[in-house]
Structure 1
Amino acid sequence: MTSPESASPSRPAKAAGFALLGVAAVALIIGVVSLFGGDSDTPPVAGGSSTQPPPQTTSESAAAPTTTASPSAPATTTTVPPTSSAATPPPPVTQPGVAKVPVRVYNNSTITGLAGKASDEVRANGWTVADTGNYSQGTIPTTTVYYRPGTDEEASAKELAAVLRARVEPRFDGIQSAPPGIILIVTNDYQGASKSK
Structure 2
Amino acid sequence: MSKAFTKETDAEIEEVEDDTPSPQPTGTKNYITPRGFRALQDELRQLRRVERPKVVETVAWAAGNGDRSENGDYIYGKKRLREIDKRIRFLLKRLEIAEVVEPSQQKNRSQVFFGATVTYADEDDIERTVRIVGIDEADTARGEVSWISPVARALLKAREGDVVELRTPAGPQSIEVVAIDYEDG
Q: Fold-level match, TM-score > 0.5?
A: no
- Structure ranking higher in strand proportion: 2
Q: Return the TM-score normalized by structure 2.
A: 0.26
Larger radius of gyration: 1
Between Structure 1 and Structure 2, which shows a larger proportion of helix residues? Answer: 2
User: Greater relative contact order (Cα 8 A, min sep 6): structure 1 or 2?
Assistant: 2
Q: TM-score, normalised by structure 1?
A: 0.25
